[in-house]
Amino acid sequence: MSAGIRLEQASVVLTGAAGGIGAPTARLLAAAGARLLLVGRDAARLEALARELDPAARVEGDAGGAGGREGARVDWCAVDLTTPQGVEAVRMMALARRANVLINNAGIASFGRLTALGEAHVAQVIATNLLAPLLLTQALLPGLLERPQAAVLHVGSALGRLGLPGFSAYSAAKFGLLGFSEALRRELAGGPVRVQYLGPRVTETGFNAPEVLAYNQTTGAGSDTAQAVAEALVAQLRDGSAERFLGFPEKLAVRLNGLIPAAMDGAFKAHRLALPAP
């Protein structure tokens, strides 16, 4: 297996495709020559992006929320990946398109003291940010293993290795996603499928609610544009690196937290005090 994926020969399944990181990622992949299956919940946004990337694409949606044809350079599938029906729809389209890259980018935000988070919200965070990518990877893996070269890249977070006050549910999901990536990478070592994890820091998208923006400003959190994250993602696909965390001092904090987590607890007093009042 070579260092990374040759994008001009890639057939990519991209979840969360119309979102803040997803859309610039789709544009970069299309510009590199990759074929794309755009996956998300918003059919109108997916169709608009597909038309932008490939004006010749036929994207007439059907009752299943899918558009296009098997040979299309850019196609789309509007589904809920937290349902078995959604996962199966993507699996079938991925097989038809002979997909060799899966980018698990879809996710939802969560912020606040644990006591302020509703039970249904917590369940949805875990279902969307952890269970859905795990089950989608499981569903697509047999097809990926048939390709000479393939990759599964999970878009996680720095909060997948660095738990901050106010992000208990979100970190639980992203820590789980990192653990899943690590275990699957070792399970598939020596085969055609490379497993990768990208951990962005705060990204400048509509993903973050106003209270999160205030928290980040108070704590001095650094940020990256969605375009910068997309560029890092595409570079990681090309170079084949197993894990990549973005930003400084976040990369240093992630490394220290992995070595001496308890010793780092006191470093986040300002973050704890910046939380909304109970």
**pLDDT tens digits, residue range 1-16?**
458 999 999 999 999 9
pLDDT tens for 200-258 read 988 888 777 788 788 778 877 778 899 999 999 999 999 999 999 998 878 877 787 67
Averaged pLDDT for residues 111-138 = 97
Residue with more model confidence, 203 or 45 = 45
Is the pLDDT reported for residue 129 higher than 70? yes
Task: With a cut of 60, say whether residue 54 has pLDDT above it.
Answer: yes
User: Which residues sit opposite 203 in a β-bridge?
Assistant: 224
- The pLDDT tens digits for 65-96 are 555 455 579 999 999 999 999 999 999 999 99
| Percent of the chain surpassing pLDDT 90 | 69
Residue ranges of the domains in the chain?
Answer: 7-273
Secondary element (H or E) of residue 195 = strand 193-199
Q: How confident is the model at residue 62 (pLDDT cuts 50, 70, 90)?
A: very low
Buried b (16+ CB within 10 A) or exposed e, 182-218: eebbeebeeeebbbbbbbbbbbebebbeeebeebbee
Please give the pLDDT value at position 90. 98
Q: What is the pLDDT, as a whole number, of residue 185?
A: 97
Rounded CA-CA distance 29/235 in Å is 10
Q: Which two tokens stand for residue 130?
A: 């952890």
The alpha carbon of 240 is separated from its chain's Cα centroid by a whole number of angstroms, namely 16
Task: State the Cα–Cα distance between residues 71 and 197, nearest whole angstrom.
Answer: 29
Strand partners, 198: 155, 244
| 203 φ, ψ (degrees, to nearest 5) | -115, 135
What mean pLDDT comes out for the span 132-147? Answer: 98
Q: What is the mean pLDDT of residues 103-128?
A: 96
CA–CA distance, 180 with 184 (Å, rounded to integer): 6
Residues 6+ apart with CB under 8 A from 202: 208, 216, 221, 222, 223, 224
CA atoms within 13 A on the CB side of 134: 17
Alpha helices by DSSP H, the chain: 22-31, 43-53, 84-96, 119-126, 132-145, 168-187, 210-219, 226-239, 250-259, 269-273
What count of other Cβ atoms lies within 10 Å of the Cβ of residue 142?
10
Please state which architecture CATH assigns to domain 7-273.
Answer: 3-Layer(aba) Sandwich (3.40)
Confidence (pTM):
0.89
The active-site residue, picked from 76, 111, 167, 170, is: 170
Task: Indicate the average pLDDT of the chain.
Answer: 89
CA nearest to 136, candidates 97, 85, 170: 85
- Is residue 197 part of the annotated active site? The answer reads no
